[in-house]
Amino acid sequence: MNTDTSDPLDELNRLANNAESLQSSPTPSKHEIERWMNLFSYINKEASSLLALQLTDVTRDRLSDAHWSLISTDVEAAGHSRQSWEHLLGIKDLMKTNSTIFIDGEDGKRYTLLRMLGWLSDEGKVREILGVKGEELKIEMVRGVDMWHQVVYVDNVGLKKIEEFIDGKLVLEKKDAEEEDAKEEGRRVEDLPGGLP
């Protein structure tokens, strides 16, 4: 989805296309909010705010209409809409945008402070992803722009594990869509007289 270009005119055209595609009402639908809550484990407020942000962001990379027409059947079979699929593709960038770097003054160790939301909102899930059991996991409450939220301190190894988990979600989502297609095709074959043509 990265559209890095050195041509300023291409970049302006991309921004203009994004602006043209903005929905007249950036208020997310209840159905789409529920979809994001189910797919990404967001609470209602997180899903609403992230979806509204995505719908009004003219600088984000979007799937082209041609690309969407190629993948839409499979993606929708996995329970996604175009908006949720674009969100999934950019979720690691979002995670990095909502994080900050902290250098421990005592040992000089570098930590990334990740906002605990969605798949990472539960301490148990974070422990599972990081592979820590009895070890202490440092979590703090911090004040954001519109609300308080939790952040978890992860080192570079932990950050890599979380990124691999997110990559796995993308692969799993694609695999689920492919399995759904195979099931659908299997049903069609079974419906034919004699099974196979």
Give the rounded distance of the alpha carbon of 46 from its chain centre.
12
Instruction: Summarize pLDDT for 163-173 with one digit per residue, the tens.
Output: 999 988 877 56
Instruction: Summarize pLDDT for 94-114 with one digit per residue, the tens.
Output: 888 888 899 988 888 999 999
- pTM recorded for the entire structure: 0.70
Instruction: Summarize pLDDT for 61-95 with one digit per residue, the tens.
Output: 888 889 999 999 988 988 999 999 999 999 988 88
**How is 99-151 classified by DSSP, letter by letter?**
-EEEE-TTT--EEEEEE--GGGSSHHHHHHHHT-SSS---EEEEE-SSSEEEE
Per the CB < 8 A criterion, the answer to whether 127 and 154 are in contact is: no
23 versus 157: the higher-pLDDT residue is 157
End-to-end CA distance of the chain: 40
Of the candidates 168, 129, 184, the one whose C-alpha atom is nearest the C-alpha of residue 152 is: 129
